[in-house]
Amino acid sequence: MASRSDGINSTIGLGSTFEGKFFISGALRIDGKFEGEIRTDDELTIGPAGKVRTNIVAKSIVVAGTVIGNLKAEEEVRLLETGKVLGDIRAPVVNISRGVIVQGNIIITGGSSKDIKKLIEDSYVGSSGKSGDSLAKSGDSPKK
């Protein structure tokens, strides 16, 4: 699993446990266990043996291990075949490999900073020039 960053700045190694706040400038790789809060301006990689219980904010996130918490990436979230996530994911791009297990909401923003629900609803109304009347007549209703 190659990182897109020039190099890993910090590592929580296999067999290591870290609890607390970890705010880092640079890339971070977790192969051990982490509980707390993580923020990085670069890539965060959770290796196949990594176990993380936290909300994560990073430039990009790669999950090959287990995460309990929400993921928010500025650029991309990549869920590799051994990845498991219990939490919500928000990013402009989300790549999901076969074998991944996820429970939570996934919001793919496409890079937009606008309200995604409103953007989609406006697109629907604007595409036909009509409101949702045709759905109501057909008996179908949009999911909320």
54-71: pLDDT as tens digits: 999 999 999 999 999 999
Backbone angles phi, psi at 138, to 5 degrees: -80, -10
Confidence of residue 137 (pLDDT cuts 50, 70, 90): very low
Which of the two residues, 24 and 129, has the higher pLDDT score? 24
Give the chain's mean pLDDT: 86
Is the pLDDT confidence value at 77 over 50? Answer: yes
Show the CA angle centred on residue 108, arms to residues 104 and 114, nearest 5°. 115
Buried/exposed code over 90-121 (b: 16+ C-beta within 10 A; e: otherwise): bbbebebeeebebeeeeeeeeeeeeeeeeeee
What pTM was computed for the model?
0.79
Instruction: Give the model's pLDDT for residue 114.
Output: 84
Residues in the chain: 144
Contact 39, 55 (CB under 8 A): no
Which of the two residues, 110 and 65, has the higher pLDDT score? 65
Contact 22, 28 (CB under 8 A): yes
Q: Where do runs of H (alpha helix) occur along the chain?
A: 116-128, 133-138
CA 22, 57, 76, 47 dihedral sign is: positive
Contact 64, 3 (CB under 8 A): no
Instruction: Give the model's pLDDT for residue 111.
Output: 84
